[in-house]
Structure 1
Amino acid sequence: MVPLKRRKVLCSHTGKTGNVCKFPELVLFLLERKMGASRRAFLSELGQKKGFKVEDKFSESVTHLISENNSGDEVRAWLDSQVGGRGRTLAHLLDVSWYTESMRAGLPVDIQDKHKLQEQTDEAETETFSVPSYACQRRTTLENHNTVLTDALSLLAENAELSEEEGRGVAFRRAAAVLKCLPKVVMDMTQLRGLPCLGEHSLSVIKDVLENGASSEVEATKNSERYKALKILTGIFGVGAKTADRWFRDGIQTLHQLRDSGQTLNRAQQAGLDHYDDINQSVTKAEADIISEIVEKAVVAVLPGAQITLTGGFRRGKLTGHDVDFLITHPEEGREEGLMSKVVSWLETQGFLLYQKTTRNSYLEAKDGPARPASNMDRFERCLSIFRLSKEKKRGAELTETLTENLKTPPSCSSSHVQQGGDREEGGKPWRAVRVDLVVSPISQFGFALLGWTGSKLFERELRRWAGREKSMSLSSHALFHNKQSRYLRATTEEEIFSYLGLEYVKPSERNA
């Protein structure tokens, strides 16, 4: 009997061929017209052996329709005779050359203009869009014309991630990213014809929203007890999806229930619970700028000449965020060693830290290339902290003086002040808690660290995917390694890294995938 985990990724034809489907998001159909039955059978079997899902019959689930020696109009006419509706389908209409190139590569190659079947345009038709396959090839600003659609897909992505279904989560994220970069509002499903990363599930959600104003699946998810509970519990700093799910299965759905449950919390989780409301309140750019002054004051005090850069969403132009990230380096290689402990000590002495955990730099450069890390996190020296930020609108020396004065009233970590997720703490206080991450990078790795810590998360994921699939390179926040040449490619700027990858440089404000 096939194990359960394996059964989930087998193609629909595995009962007949036993081939494992490596690319479940793709459903291919080979048109027999002008190709011939024997050649079609040969190519279908070849595709199945390579791990592709190749269907015998055309259906709405088909994502790639492959033909040989047919024009786009001829294929449309054939579709019309099969499914009606003027041959409408959201599948890519491709020449067999795309299929054969994919077979040689052993994976789906990027769809280029030369692969697409040409069709006569009808000016009366609804305007369609065209975007590259990888998010790192696209320019995505903060201007989103399809918020209703992307919010729906993002919620399903979040729910999948809370269920530790990373593949589904990434699929929804990629679909949302495509819609985010479109220059206009999507009004009709036909506008999405041929766009990459829009799988059958995502398309059904989009169709539901366009036709009914909302997705029934999204609304059901949003109102489910499990989603609401995991959303609250993972809002606690230091609590991941696995821990939250375990608590939920133990009957814990609220912060009150967690406190009353007797669960043992580590330091991070206890601090996250104590400051739940503050941490789940958005951080403004103005607050990030004030924290930036504090961090700069701390760094310069212990190592003059060091450089501090605000990264994350704020570097991409966002006006709010859920935390504040800083990258610290020094122009002289090696001078940054031991810096973090001194900075943390200074911040603690000044009373800025409510919680902190510091980890050492564990990155080692191997001659045969970087080993796969235990997690997606990089291995820089870092401090994950919760800052005590004064609410006074003051800067520089005045800010430090104000906070020192506020220390006369010590922060209360009493759980009686923290209520159900989303409620405010009782009584006013002259400060708030803010999540702050400090990362120290050697100057030789700074360009890679800056690229990695700028985000967005999906943009960085797509950069790494592009590097591996298209360039046979391994990209991380530490380095770029050429797998075929077995050597590291040195770079001091983000522009150099993009150039190595054969990509046009995308400025931070256009990386909001």
Structure 2
Amino acid sequence: MAPGPLRRRKGPGGHADPPPVPCSPSSSSSSSLSCSSSSSSPRWSSGLTLYLVERRMGRSRRAFLSGLARAKGFRVDDAYSPAVTHVVMEHTSAAQAARWAQQQGGTQGGTQEGTQGGPPILLDITWFTDSMAAGRPVPVEGRHQLGEALETLAEAAALEGNEGRSLSFRRAASTLKALPGPLTRLSQLEGLPYCGAHSRGVIQEMLEDGASREADGVRQSDRFRAMKLFTQIFGVGVKTADGWYREGLRTLGDLRERGKKLTRMQEAGVRHYEDLKTPVELSDVEAVRRVVEEAVLQVLPGANITLTGGFRRGKRHGHDVDFLITHPEEGREAGILPNVMSCLESQGLVLYQHTQENHYCTPKAMAQPASRTNTMDAFERCFSILRVSRPSPGVASRGPPRDWKAVRVDLVVTPASQFPFALLGWTGSQHFERELRRFSRQERKLILNSHALYNPEKKTFLPAASEEEIFRHLGLEFIPPEERNA
């Protein structure tokens, strides 16, 4: 779901996931990759199917790359069909890719999840080469698509502490992805929200030249690279990263050599950096779910454990795993996290943990104006890094192969009465939540957060037993989790 108009109940139906458009072609070459003569059956149970477009790639190169992908376990179709989930192109601009998509019977670039039966993702060859190098499908990043220029500028602004500018670029990128068809002309953006002059200029340049000089300059800058690396460390924010950069630090090696004093969280982030920067996969999620459920139910029989975040939205990859914990009997859930973490620690599964007590006050306190202005997400929670077993050894790391991986896991405890609001808030995405709360405030004059829905005029709370009820209170058609990827 992109931050465009939200769907009112009994209004226009039919919502399409935002179709990304491929970015400019990359000069990246796959010539250094070797192909085994033996083939293997596809390993990807998610149903991922590739189709490599021969135009501009060439017949022989397409055949070589298709063989390479099959040897690594990918399913590759030689003919385009509705079963294709990922379309790979080379030396193709955004406008050319859009025209190609239109020629395939109206097929458009689809969501970043690319599922069978829905529109495929249109991708630059860089995604393919990244996946071949990793030996598995890598998450689709902005640099693999047209919106990457805007997202790069948004990220750069955020790393400079300019949240307003960052939000503007991210909203423009989301609007671009939410178009019902491929973008071929700037005039298609007329009347759409969040596309200011700066963003329109970047989009125009991408359409005409296949690249953004401003975004390219940002990506190549020493500061951007260093700030991005440092802020990817668990526990490091923009202010700390900026301080390190000003001190002349550029790499993790610099941190170690200078003997920088780190917090306990940052020390864990550096220690497990290689694992934590590796995408969390569905197999990791299931492994985490098993150990978390076992520990929670041992401490609190009858508790409910619910997966949230991007994986609830249907994503195949993520950066961490989030769970909501509640109990039908309100109050029994309070204070359980220390015991849950002790249970996990006794099994040697805890690499880092920081538990935060519930500091959510009473409904009366929530009604105060000062409280209603923030998100008020003050649940009991634990930020942790868990040691997760993997089915086979060889996790990418410095040192000998091992059969486990460090994974970021957030556990959040919520009372049953607040669970629907917590589920909605913690499912995301961030853009979806921001726009839903903006709509609540501006259009419905209601305050929505992860704890409740409040009517400040009547000074009353609107109870809800499900997410569907929250949408009904707002006069909106229910939007399922898989359509909330902004």
TM-score higher than 0.5: yes
Question: 1:339-393, CA deviations, whole angstroms, 9 ceiling, x for partnerless residues?
Answer: 1111111001111110000000101134371543897571000000001111236
Q: Structure 1 residue 198 and structure 2 residue 171: aligned?
A: no
2:326 — aligned with what?
329
Deviations 1:420-478 (A, max 9, x none): xxx84122122111101000000010000000000001101111111111111111101
Q: Are residues 1:268 and 2:265 paired?
A: yes
What is the aligned partner in structure 1 of residue 381 from structure 2?
A: 382
After TM superposition, list the pairs within 5 Å mapping 1:235-384 onto structure 2. 235-367=232-364, 369=367, 371-372=370-371, 378-384=377-383
The two structures, once aligned, show a CA RMSD in angstroms of: 2.2
CA contact (8 A) 2:299 2:336 kept: yes
* 2:457 corresponds to 1:484: yes
Aligned to 2:438: 465
Among 399, 409, 427, the alignment partner of 2:400 is 427
Identity %: 52
More deviation, 142-151/226-235: 142-151
Aligned ranges 1:10-49 → 2 under 5 Å: none
**Distance in 2 between the 1:377 and 1:438 partners?**
17
Tell me the secondary structure at the aligned position of residue 235 of structure 2: coil
Structure 2 letter corresponding to 1:369: A
| 1:355 counterpart SS class | strand
Q: Which of 211, 215, 228 pairs up with 2:212? A: 215
Q: Give the conservation status (yes or no) of the 8 Å contact 1:445–1:478.
A: yes
Structure 1, unmatched stretches of 5+, are 1-125, 128-138, 394-405, 407-422
Whether contact under 8 Å (1:145, 1:183) holds in the other structure is no
CA contact (8 A) 1:142 1:509 kept: no
How many Å separate the matches in 2 of 1:459 and 1:140? 15
Aligned partner (choices 420, 439, 442) of residue 412 of structure 2: 439
- Does the aligned pair in 1 maintain the 2:306–2:324 contact within 8 Å? yes
Q: 1:189 aligns with which of 171, 183, 186?
A: 186
Contact 1:142 1:512 in 2 (8 A): no
How big is the shift at 1:183? 2.6
CA distance in 2, matches of 1:381, 1:308: 14
Q: Which residue does 2:479 correspond to in 1? A: 506
Once structures 1 and 2 are overlaid, which stretch shifts more, 167-176 or 143-152? 143-152
State the distance in 2 between where 1:269 and 1:278 align.
14
With over 3 angstroms needed to count, the CA separation of the structure-2 counterparts of 1:140 and 1:174, relative to structure 1, is farther
Provide Cα deviations, 1:183-216, integer angstroms capped at 9, x if missing partner: 3211111111111111111111111111110111
For residues 354 and 374 of structure 1, what CA distance do their matches in structure 2 show?
36
What is residue 152 of structure 1 aligned with on the other side? 149
User: Deviations for 1:112-149, whole angstroms, at most 9, x for unmatched residues?
Assistant: xxxxxxxxxxxxxx99xxxxxxxxxxx97745669622
The 8 Å contact of residues 324 and 435 in structure 1, kept in 2 or not, is answered as yes
Shift of 1:273: 0.3
For the pair shown, the structure with the greater C-alpha radius of gyration is 1
Contact 1:452–1:477 (CA under 8 A) maintained in structure 2: yes
Q: Secondary structure at the match of 1:220?
A: helix
TM-score normalized with structure 1 length:
0.65
Aligned-partner residue type, residue 187 of structure 2: T
